[in-house]
Amino acid sequence: MTSRTSNAPDVAGTFSIGAEFPVRRLGFGAMRLPTGPGSERDGAIAVARRAVELGVTLMDTAHLYGWGANEELLAEALHPYPSDLLIATKVGVTRSGPEGWAYDGRPESLREQVEQSLRRLRTERVGLLQLHRLDPKVSVADQVGALRELQLEGKIGHIGLSEVTTAQLAEARQTAEIASVQNRYSLLDRDYEPVLEVCEADGIAFLPWRPIGAETDSGQAAVLATVATELGATVPQVLLAWLLARSPVVLPIPGTGSLAHLEENLAAADLRLTDSQRQRLDRTALRVG
């Protein structure tokens, strides 16, 4: 059972990406869905469909996830897509051999990767297209400029970035409007706090990846367990509830291949942390590093 106290505002709510596409703030990351044949694939399709049934309107995938197989899986599970579902995908990383990968932000390569994503997702327009990583060998203006051209052609709705610093975000915004940033971030992993602060100030969606995966020491684990017990919740739910309370621009995208874990994660939207609980969690986070 989760706690449904009334002493805090509705921190889950929705957020409008690019001031155009409203999504529920607790989304779904598809990376962990199995893409092979057989019963595992059937289970993955069931998880994706159940996420939508439970109200998820933001799903995150990428070219890197199975080299397109993850995008194909979502298309198989969900196409034709509900009108309120935003599927975000990422480009900018390509294969460099049987087991390797490399940054590839050349404009011609980004265009081809986007075209491939459109085919795999069975759509004419990607609602949110994010650069998986900035290629250090290609200027930021050229990389973002290539996506801006595709946006003007109607193949991209909004442009986002992943794993960027405040300086890189500022540089990218000189070329195009940036609707989202997807950086590693959680209660116990807050290196990108300055980037979140910029996003919050300017209304840019902040999608924390690995939102519940940070390791804890014994003291941190004890505080998390205590707060979870007080709320009748699990530790992952507490971590997600903290993210939702942290800022209205934060859109966590926890991923799982399990129906039970999916439902557990999404139930975190109903949790309300008290001021005391938030303060204890924040003090715990300050001990990191």
What kind of architecture, by CATH, is found in domain 14-213+250-256? Alpha-Beta Barrel (3.20)
Question: What pLDDT score does 4 carry?
Answer: 35
Catalytic residue among 65, 103, 185, 192: 65
Buried b or exposed e, range 264-280, using 16+ CB within 10 angstroms: bbbbbbebbbeeebbeb
Q: What is the residue extent of each domain of the chain?
A: 14-213+250-256
pLDDT of 36 strictly over 60: yes
- Closest to 101 measured CA to CA, from 151, 67, 50: 67
Q: Return the half-sphere exposure (C-beta side, CA atoms, 13 A cut-off) of residue 74.
A: 33
User: Of the candidates 60, 61, 57, 62, which has an alpha carbon nearest to the alpha carbon of residue 83?
Assistant: 57
Helices (H), 232-274: 235-246, 259-266
Distance CA 182, CA 188 (A): 17
Catalytic (active site) residue 103: no
* pLDDT given for residue 5 in this prediction: 35
Calculate the average pLDDT of the chain.
93
Residue 12: its pLDDT value, please?
Answer: 55
Residues 225-262: tens digit of each pLDDT: 999 999 999 999 999 999 999 999 999 999 999 999 99
- Among residues 173, 206, 189, 198, which one has the least CA distance to residue 88? 206
